[in-house]
């Protein structure tokens, strides 16, 4: 048993979808979340910048005495997957758990991947899926406007702004006939109703936050790192930009009460 918190970071607020899943599956765990709201989005940044940001984000979480670091960010998981080699605690990204779930879900062998520009450009999901099954056909496309839409609360299924954006981005994947679609950014599950409406009910949507939470739980249990059952789980939230307005969108992403403190930090000092 290990009572220390789990550290989770993302470029902004999208990683809260992973926190939601972690809390649901492991209610006795304490979670420290850092959202780099002052530098979001990561997906349009250079490789070197993304890697520098990831190191700073992890350094902050380590200062909070976490027992594990989760990059709830598809961009970091794709571009800085080797971050864990430099950390004194276990590291988990969203890439591998999500790829495994997609490979298991597909019936036709045609898998679509949507993500930030940096994620798609890296080819990370193509490589991960090829290792799992070389016969899989992978069709990917970047969706650079999805993160700003989520961060600004454009989420409603009947809102023409996210719907028309999704129709534009997803058209090639529909034409390719994919039966499974990886939501390769933890912001994207917030747009799931819109994406499902565009893709159709027969396409399996793979939520990277959910799959990462499941992988985290399995790892902690297998390595005797889970919190004591009698522990009362809690959550602490940190952001690199203003805290005002955080509660509104965070409550939506978490699917309920914020139930935790929110503080601003200077991430450049890490």
Q: Can you give the three-state secondary structure of 131-195, one letter per residue?
A: HHCCCCEEEEEECCCHHHHHHCCCCCCCCHHHHHHHHHHHHHHHHHCCCEEEECCCCHHHHHHHH
Give strand pairing partners of 183.
Answer: 114, 207
Give strand pairing partners of 6.
Answer: 31, 68
Q: Which of 101, 176, 164, 173 is nearest to 142 (CA)?
A: 173
Q: Coil, strand, or helix at residue 239?
A: strand
- Rounded CA-CA distance 19/204 in Å is 22
User: Does an H or E element contain 118, and which?
Assistant: helix 117-122
Which residues are tagged catalytic? 73, 185
CB atoms within 10 A of CB 261: 11
Structure-token pair, residue 50? 């993304």
* Cα four-point dihedral sign 235, 238, 242, 248: negative
- Rounded CA-CA distance 96/125 in Å is 8
Cα distances (Å, whole numbers) of residue 62 to 50, 169, 176: 18, 37, 43
- Rounded CA-CA distance 173/170 in Å is 5
Q: For residue 83, what is the DSSP state? A: G
């Amino acid at each position: 048993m290990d009572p220390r918190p789990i550290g989770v970071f993302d470029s902004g607020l999208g990683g809260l979808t992973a926190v939601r899943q972690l809390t649901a599956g492991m209610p006795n765990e304490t979670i420290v979340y850092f959202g780099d709201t002052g530098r979001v989005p990561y997906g349009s940044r250079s490789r070197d910048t993304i890697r520098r940001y990831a190191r700073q984000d992890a350094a902050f979480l380590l200062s909070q005495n976490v027992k594990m670091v989760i990059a709830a960010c598809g961009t970091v998981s794709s571009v800085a997957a080797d971050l864990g080699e430099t950390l004194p605690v276990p590291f988990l990204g969203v890439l591998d758990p999500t790829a495994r779930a997609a490979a298991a879900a597909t019936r036709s062998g045609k898998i679509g991947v949507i993500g930030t520009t940096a994620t798609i450009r890296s080819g990370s999901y193509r490589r991960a899926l090829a290792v799992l099954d070389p016969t899989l056909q992978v069709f990917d496309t970047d969706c650079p406007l999805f993160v700003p839409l989520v961060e600004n609360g454009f989420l409603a299924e009947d809102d023409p702004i996210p719907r028309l954006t999704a129709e534009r981005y997803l058209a090639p994947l529909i034409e390719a006939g994919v039966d499974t679609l990886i939501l390769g950014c933890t912001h994207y599950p917030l747009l799931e109703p819109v994406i499902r409406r565009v893709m159709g009910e027969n396409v399996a949507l793979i939520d990277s936050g959910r799959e990462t939470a499941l992988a985290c739980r399995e790892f902690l249990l297998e390595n005797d790192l889970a919190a004591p059952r009698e522990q009362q789980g809690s959550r602490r939230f940190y952001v690199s930009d203003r805290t005002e307005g955080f509660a509104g969108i965070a409550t939506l992403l978490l699917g309920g009460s914020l139930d935790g403190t929110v503080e601003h930090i200077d991430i450049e000092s890490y």
